[in-house]
């Protein structure tokens, strides 16, 4: 990216995510040439990979805008760029008033703790404000309002919309009706791109992502974090090891897509047989809320659990990640081992979401 001249100024202590001295860059100093991915996202691409006009409805006279909907819309250089930006926010290289004239709408039509709070925290760290809807029950959706109408209305209030919705494809649909950028914060069993960015960010803090062995354990059928992460890792020459209870394997279309992207995907019957070959083990929760009935959930519940014993003989650099919340998949005794990195991973949600919010609203 060609960046305008950056003036470093000391702006005081105590505004960054880590309370360190901050040397900040003025918001307007980032107004260099727009990056390629800005155009890619403005054009949008459907989840099948075909280009669609999603997001092209830029009102006349307004600046270019774009949406963060699916990892499929990203090229590797876009991910690397955002990870580099997140690093800058993490080390305090920003001004705490970068988004002080901006307002984000957090529309969460499904439960969330971390994602919603970390978007709100990220916005506050940049001097911006948030408005939110926290449940379907509390919104006009119960009165029969369509998502399209809600999005049109909220576009008139806020400078960007962060949307979590139980239906796969909801964020893409929203982007077609929004006149402000939409960030997908999880659409059913679909995608969760901001989570993937913080997953990649956490891995990159410890090792280069290229060519490593990553295991995905758990509900690979309904787990949107697993879908987004696998697609992103395919851009880094990673070997993917999948370990899922019967019936919760990676959907065939995604597994095929990964292989078409040149990824080596190795299926394992159980985690014991795979864990010693891994640099990263990404553990996920069984997505109970997406099961058609409770009997089918109980058939697979508690079918895997990471315990300290299981970690004997693993690679020294093994990182255990989990998007959280956990529901018994990782024994709390594992938290004390050097492999446990999931709380650090959750913390990384803030700088990563600062980078995303700034990118779409700057
Ligand atoms: N899936 C939710 C999220 O990441 C769960 C939670 O945070 O409690 O936001
Ligand atoms: N918090 C993640 C999500 O929203 C993972 C989970 O809920 O299991 O997808």
Please give the pLDDT value at position 295: 87
Phi, psi of 134 (to 5 degrees): -105, -5
Residue 142's pLDDT is 65
pLDDT digits (tens, 9 = 90+) for 340-350: 999 999 999 99
Q: Which of 7-11, 75-79, 350-354 has the lowest mean pLDDT?
A: 7-11
Query: Using an 8 Å Cβ cutoff, are 322 and 347 in contact?
Result: no
Q: Is the CB of 118 under 6 A from ligand 1?
A: no
146-190 pLDDT per residue, tens: 999 999 999 999 999 999 999 999 999 999 999 999 999 999 999
User: Would the CB of 186 count as within 6 Å of ligand 2?
Assistant: yes
Q: What is the DSSP string of 150-188?
A: HHHHHHTT-SEEEEEESSTTHHHHHHHH-SS-EEEEEET
Question: Is the model's pLDDT at 249 over the cut of 50?
Answer: yes
Q: What is the pLDDT of residue 113?
A: 87
Q: Which of 36-45, 222-231, 295-304 has the lowest mean pLDDT?
A: 36-45
* Cα 172 to averaged position of ligand 2 atoms, centre (Å): 19
Spatial distance between the Cα atoms of 37 and 80, rounded to a whole number of angstroms = 11
Pick the range with the lowest mean pLDDT from 64-73, 278-287, 320-329.
Answer: 64-73
Distance CA 319, CA 353 (A): 22
Domains of the chain: 36-189+351-361 (3.40.50.1370), 193-347 (3.40.50.1370)
3-state class (DSSP) for residue 135: coil
Substitution site in 110, 301, 324 for ligand 2 pocket (most atoms within 8 Å of beta carbon): 324
Residue nearest atom 8 in ligand 2 by C-alpha distance: 285
Which ligand has the minimum distance to the alpha carbon of residue 108? 1
Higher pLDDT, 137 or 50: 137
Which ligand is nearest the CA of 324, by number?
2
Q: Residue 5 above 50 pLDDT? A: no
Q: Which residues contact 4 (CB under 8 A, 6 or more apart)?
A: 28, 29, 30, 31, 32
């Amino acid at each position: 990216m060609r960046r305008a001249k950056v003036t470093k100024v000391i702006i005081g202590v105590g505004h960054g995510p880590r309370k360190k001295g901050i040397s900040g860059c003025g918001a307007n100093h980032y107004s260099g040439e727009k990056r390629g991915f800005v155009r890619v996202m403005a054009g949008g691409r459907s989840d099948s990979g075909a280009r669609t006009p999603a997001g092209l409805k830029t009102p006349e006279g307004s600046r270019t805008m774009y949406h963060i909907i699916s990892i499929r819309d990203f090229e590797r250089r876009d991910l690397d760029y955002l990870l580099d930006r997140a690093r800058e926010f993490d080390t305090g290289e920003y001004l705490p008033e970068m988004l002080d004239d901006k307002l984000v709408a957090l529309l969460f039509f499904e439960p969330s703790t971390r994602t919603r709070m970390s978007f709100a925290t990220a916005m506050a760290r940049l001097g911006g404000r948030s408005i939110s809807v926290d449940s379907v029950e509390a919104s006009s959706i119960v009165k029969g309002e369509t998502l399209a109408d809600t999005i049109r209305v909220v576009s008139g209030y806020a400078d960007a919309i962060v949307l979590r919705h139980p239906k796969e494809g909801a964020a893409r649909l929203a982007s077609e009706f929004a006149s402000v950028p939409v960030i997908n914060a999880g659409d059913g069993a679909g995608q969760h791109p901001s989570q993937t960015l913080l997953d990649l960010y956490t891995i990159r803090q410890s090792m280069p992502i290229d060519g490593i062995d990553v295991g995905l354990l758990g509900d690979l059928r309904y787990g949107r974090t697993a879908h987004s992460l696998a697609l992103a890792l395919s851009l880094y020459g990673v070997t993917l090891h999948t370990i899922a209870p019967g019936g919760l394997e990676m959907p065939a279309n995604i597994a095929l897509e990964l292989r078409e992207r040149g990824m080596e995907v190795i299926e394992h019957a159980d985690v014991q047989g795979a864990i010693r070959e891994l640099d990263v083990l990404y553990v996920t929760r069984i997505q109970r809320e997406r099961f058609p009935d409770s009997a089918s959930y109980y058939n697979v519940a508690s079918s895997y659990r990471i315990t300290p014993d299981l970690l004997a003989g693993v690679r020294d650099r093994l990182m255990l990640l989990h998007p959280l919340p956990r529901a018994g998949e990782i024994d709390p005794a594992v938290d004390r081992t050097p492999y446990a990195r999931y709380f650090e991973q959750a913390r990384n949600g803030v700088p990563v979401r600062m980078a995303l919010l700034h990118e779409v609203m700057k």
